[in-house]
Amino acid sequence: MRKIVECVPNFSEGNDRETIDAIAQAITETPGCTLLDVDPGKSTNRTVYTFVGDPDAVVQGALNSARVARARIDMRTHKGEHPRMGAMDVCPFIPVANVSMDECVAISKTFGRLAAEALGVPFFLYEASAVHDYRRKLPQVRQGEYEGLAGRLEEPEWAPDFGPAAFVPQWGATATGARSFLIAYNVNILGTSNQAHRIALNLREAGRGPDVPGRLKAVKGMGWFVDEYNMAQVTVNLNDYQVTPIHTLFEEVKKEAAALNVGVAGSEIVGLVPLASILMAADYYMEKENLFILDEDQKVRLAVERLGLNSVAPFDPKEKIIEYRVAETPDEPLAAMRLRDFVQEVASRSSAPGGGSVSALLVAMGAGLGAMVGKLTYGVRKFESVDAQMRKCIPPLHDAAARLIPMIDADTTAFKDFMAALRLPRGTDAERTARAEQMQAGLKKAIDIPLTTMKLGDGAWDALCDVARYGNPASRSDVEVGARTLETGIWGAYKNVMINMTDITDDEFRTRIVGEAEAIVKRAAQKCADVLEILESR
């Protein structure tokens, strides 16, 4: 799955449109980067850019933007209301999808090192990337701002993490690091700014001061009145939505508002939001209300409705959810084919797609048939007595079928990688060694793909047994076909694992994988028999 990292560099220029646009262009022209937002502030004399990309792309995008700033921004003439210490004042990297905080720490360190070398300026690490606790928070690093930076750099404990320990007047210094995704979130209050602020004080982590902390961690907030909406708002920054999710903040505001006898009229998200945070809200309301929803778009709709995200402005998921903004058409030429074309492609004079892709398709279809029967049983009046069982067995079958579709193309891609290694030159000892290493890597990948197909199929058996036990008896033949197809697909994937194992030179790898694959294929035969026996006994 695609890794998505967000980068939010802040530059000390909010008035010169040419400079603002030049920095934006540098990001936009970086391959793999998608610029999502440019937010200049005249009084702060500062512009915040938001862009996303894969780990390598965001490093390059940040470097390209920093180079423009180095050429166009001169801190010696900069004035603004916002605290600052450098031309590129801060450059955080934030995990969005399929990437860990540790990876973002490594990304920030790579960027800091490369930028300091290229520009000849000091860089400090902060937040999760910080090496020293006394300079972990941004206010600590930026204390004294640009005007106090020259003296600070003379102190040994304030030597930069990258670049020279010397004052560069035109630039100043930059803080870079990794942090959690910050969600700017407002809850609408049908009351006064004072009431909204009282709620914020009770909830925000800082509370009313050191002696009276608030209830929610990783939350900053206050109350204000928005004339445009004719409503007050509890306005917060959720510094880590994994610690305090959106729905938790919303529900706690509702409790506080009820205690003050004031109404809550929905909420709004300022800027962009990760899909995971919206799905967390959906999961919360599904559990709270005992709802059964499978489709992602319906889960998103549930969260939007329960949080009242359309209350002051339309919430368009395609525009507000980061993953949807940067979504790309999956590179799945086989899975995207018409069925007729796929069969003809398999039947063509070519070794790929072959047994591995067909096996992945069979496993997906086996799980899919089980999901189909479960869905044809759930919600039907005469089968209401087994709704609870269907709620448990439909999701794993539904998810397995969806996750197996990409494996159809992945198997063919892995085979092509191995064939490419075969064509590498082998004229010298070094070339022969490199070729052998690439061939072994290609073989291991060609083994891992069908093994993953086997594992995904293996995870569907218990649910398929329950469908056989409780599902609509009119669909008995569909479950039988599903069981046989699932078993055959797993057997086919097993054969692909074993045929690629022949030339593996890593004995430990061979022993471990063969043992795992044999256990799964043996269990598939037994589970298929169990499904058929269950159906026969009904």
Question: Using CA atoms, how far apart are residues 391 and 290, in angstroms rounded to an integer?
Answer: 10
Question: Using CA atoms, how far apart are residues 354 and 411, in angstroms rounded to an integer?
Answer: 9
Residue 173 · residue 116 · CB < 8 Å: no
**Cα-flanking dihedrals φ and ψ of residue 461, to 5°?**
-65, -45
Give the active site residues. Answer: 82, 411
- How much is the pLDDT for 329? 75
- How much is the pLDDT for 41? 84
**Cα-flanking dihedrals φ and ψ of residue 95, to 5°?**
-70, 130
Q: Which domains does the chain have, with CATH numbers?
A: 4-178 (3.30.990.10), 183-325 (3.30.70.670), 339-537 (1.20.120.680)
- How much is the pLDDT for 104? 97
Within a 13 Å sphere around the CA of 290, how many CA atoms are in the beta-carbon half? 2
- Provide the 3-class DSSP secondary structure of residue 126: strand
CA dihedral in degrees (21, 22, 23, 29; nearest 10)? 100
pLDDT in tens, the chain (538 residues): 689 999 999 999 999 999 999 999 999 999 999 999 898 888 889 999 999 999 999 999 999 999 999 999 999 999 988 889 999 999 999 998 889 999 999 999 999 999 999 999 999 999 999 999 999 999 899 999 999 999 999 999 999 999 999 999 999 999 999 999 899 899 999 999 999 999 999 999 999 988 999 999 999 999 999 898 999 999 999 999 999 999 999 999 999 999 999 999 999 998 889 999 999 999 999 999 999 999 999 999 999 999 999 999 899 999 999 889 888 777 788 999 999 999 999 999 988 888 999 999 999 999 999 999 999 999 999 999 999 999 999 999 999 999 999 999 998 887 777 788 888 898 898 888 888 888 898 889 889 999 999 999 999 999 999 999 999 999 999 999 999 999 999 999 999 999 999 889 999 999 999 999 999 999 999 999 999 999 999 8
- How much is the pLDDT for 67? 97
- How much is the pLDDT for 381? 95
The reported pTM is: 0.80
Question: ω into residue 31 within 30 of 0, thus cis?
Answer: no
- How much is the pLDDT for 1? 67
- How much is the pLDDT for 81? 83
To the nearest 10 degrees (0 to 180), the angle between helices 387-422 and 355-377 is: 170
Question: Using CA atoms, how far apart are residues 457 and 491, in angstroms rounded to an integer?
Answer: 10
